[in-house]
């Protein structure tokens, strides 16, 4: 009987304190006609950004001085978001293609 009481008490504390963790999401950005769509997205640390390239050209999602994701023609690529902040990215091959990820802490 006592073990059941503790289980209920611990569960109540977890729910009451917001200790339940949010599930990570996959956020899709489509590349179509030389543009990131949507160009601006919101994510949380732990989410994954997936780029789907509908163009016949290879593109990148490149952060100046940071990371780069190579996105094959008619293919997909992804990257997990690991820190909060605003991230501006562009295609290294087509610098007019730009996007922004606003990342919130969990």
Q: How far is CA 28 from CA 49, 72, 83, in A?
A: 6, 15, 18
What residues contact 33, with CB distance under 8 A and at least 6 apart? 55
Each residue's pLDDT tens digit, 51-85: 999 999 999 999 999 999 999 999 999 999 999 99
Helix then strand count (H, E) for the chain reads 1, 9
This prediction has a pTM of 0.79
Class of domain 22-104: mainly beta
Each residue's pLDDT tens digit, 50-59: 999 999 999 9
């Amino acid at each position: 009987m006592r073990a059941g009481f503790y289980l209920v008490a611990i569960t109540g504390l977890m729910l009451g304190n917001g200790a339940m963790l949010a599930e990570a999401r996959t956020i899709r950005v489509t590349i179509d006609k030389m543009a990131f769509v949507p160009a601006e997205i919101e994510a949380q640390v732990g989410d994954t950004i997936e780029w789907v390239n509908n163009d016949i050209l290879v593109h990148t999602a490149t952060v100046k001085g940071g990371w780069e994701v190579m996105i094959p023609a008619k293919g997909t690529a992804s990257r997990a978001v690991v820190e909060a902040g605003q991230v501006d990215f562009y295609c290294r091959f087509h610098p007019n293609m730009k996007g922004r990820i606003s990342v919130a802490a969990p």
